[in-house]
Structure 1
Amino acid sequence: MEIGLFFGSFNPIHAGHMIIASLVKETTDVDEIWFIVSPQNPFKKNKNLLHEFDRLDMVNAAIGDDYQFRSSDVEFNMPRPSYTIDTLTFLQEKHPEKKFHLIIGEDNLESFPKWKNHEKILEHFGLIVYPRPHSKESQLSKFENVRMIEAPEVDISATLIRKLIKEGKSIKYLVPDAVVEMIQTKGFFKD
């Protein structure tokens, strides 16, 4: 079974994430997409980051009963900051019958050589890369284990969504309905 791993803070998960996950599922050999909720990205420090379990709950709400998608809290119990190669290695050891692929935005290709053990990620897992606005072409896009997919350049910003919530404005259509409901019910991102 082939699994696409979509890492993110998902603060909150939004329509852009769901569109990309759906397109990866439909246009590649991937059987399932696993949303890996990251406790803290080593390259991003975010004081507006909701608790990891709240973000996991929002991912579960967004997925609903879609059997092609799963959420994962695998990084919650790993050393922090968490590095992608460590998570990939752990998952491969835990699920030797599965083949994992890393899903990233094209904007991450330029900085990818700075990632811990990026060569091992390329060699053993490979990348599924979706287009991002204003991305520069990378030599990595021609690498054997890098698959570029066609997708709209979705530019929905979690920062904008949080700003709209603070201002009391609607986020309808920017995030799945179940996530809108959860944000409103729990009062996320208000302060």
Structure 2
Amino acid sequence: MAEKRSEAPSGLSVGLLGGSFNPAHEGHLHLTHMALEALALDRIWWLVSPQNPLKSTRDMAPLDERLAGARALVEKSGDPRILVTAIETELGTRYTIDTVRALKARYADTRFVWLMGADNMIELPRWANWRELTQEIPIAVYPRPGFTMKARTCPAAALLRSVTLEASEADRLAKSAPPALVFLDGPEHLASSTEIRARHGR
């Protein structure tokens, strides 16, 4: 899907929420609205991944199906600040570091923030070139059941401790030069794509 440059006008702050969205659910909307408010973002892009390198293809729904489900959910929410996209297929990127660099090059005047769950923060050292990623884009971590406190003491968090903002300063993150990190405070949402698939026999 080709993206128009008008989707990221100069000077806007845009959160990037990458994931399989297999399927998209109310938890994605919950954390999106949490991030929009806490980080004072203008937009959030849901980057529906063609295939997460760390996840199996066995129970992965086709990209078109996952895109359609995410778009239907966003349309139902009525929030025009959320854009659902599979732009990684156009960019030809597989790893987050390459996607972030490509988006920064394409939208040079846009301030991007990477959004990730506490569970993914713990797993960050498994990501390709993860240290370089922290140097490319500010990161906001949202709470996830069972992982929120563990994420604050994980190796990646320790590496970034000196550049970690207080939750009360989260609205400064988008304007902060990387590396920069913040752990968002807010209610945890129990929805899980894995559990939804299990309930539907997938």
TM-score, reference length from structure 2: 0.76
- For residues 132 and 162 of structure 1, the distance between their equivalents in structure 2, rounded to whole angstroms, comes to 18
Whether 1:138 and 2:138 are equivalent positions in the alignment is no
Q: What is the aligned partner in structure 2 of residue 62 from structure 1?
A: 73
- For residues 56 and 143 of structure 1, the distance between their equivalents in structure 2, rounded to whole angstroms, comes to 38
TM-score, reference length from structure 1: 0.80
Is the CA contact (8 Å cut-off) linking 2:100 and 2:136 kept in structure 1? Answer: no
Whether 1:45 and 2:56 are equivalent positions in the alignment is yes
Q: What is the aligned partner in structure 2 of residue 76 from structure 1?
A: 89
- For residues 58 and 45 of structure 2, the distance between their equivalents in structure 1, rounded to whole angstroms, comes to 25
For 2:43, which of 17, 32, 36 is the aligned residue?
32
Deviation of 1:107 after TM superposition, in Å, equals 1.4
Deviation of 1:113 after TM superposition, in Å, equals 2.3
Deviation of 1:46 after TM superposition, in Å, equals 3.3
Q: What SS does the corresponding residue of 1:34 show, helix, strand or coil?
A: strand
Task: Say which structure is richer in helix.
Answer: 2
Residue identity in the other structure for 1:94:
R
Is the CA contact (8 Å cut-off) linking 2:101 and 2:136 kept in structure 1? Answer: no
Is the CA contact (8 Å cut-off) linking 2:125 and 2:156 kept in structure 1? Answer: no
Q: What is the aligned partner in structure 2 of residue 90 from structure 1?
A: 102
- For residues 153 and 83 of structure 1, the distance between their equivalents in structure 2, rounded to whole angstroms, comes to 27
- For residues 78 and 151 of structure 1, the distance between their equivalents in structure 2, rounded to whole angstroms, comes to 33
Calculate percent identity across the aligned residue pairs.
31
Q: From the superposition, tell whether residues 143 and 79 of structure 1 become closer, same or farther in structure 2 (CA, over 3 Å).
A: farther
Q: How many residues align?
A: 166
Residue identity in the other structure for 2:38:
T
For 2:183, which of 132, 148, 154 is the aligned residue?
148
Q: List per-residue Cα deviations over 1:21-71 (Å, max 9, x = no partner).
A: 010001113211100001111111131211101111111111114211001
Structure 1 gaps, min length 5: 167-188
- For residues 80 and 35 of structure 2, the distance between their equivalents in structure 1, rounded to whole angstroms, comes to 15
Residue identity in the other structure for 2:187:
P
Is the CA contact (8 Å cut-off) linking 2:16 and 2:114 kept in structure 1? Answer: yes
- For residues 164 and 40 of structure 1, the distance between their equivalents in structure 2, rounded to whole angstroms, comes to 22
Q: What SS does the corresponding residue of 1:96 show, helix, strand or coil?
A: coil
Is the CA contact (8 Å cut-off) linking 1:32 and 1:68 kept in structure 2? Answer: yes
List, as ranges, runs of 4+ consecutive aligned residues in structure 1 with deviation greater than 4 Å.
Answer: none
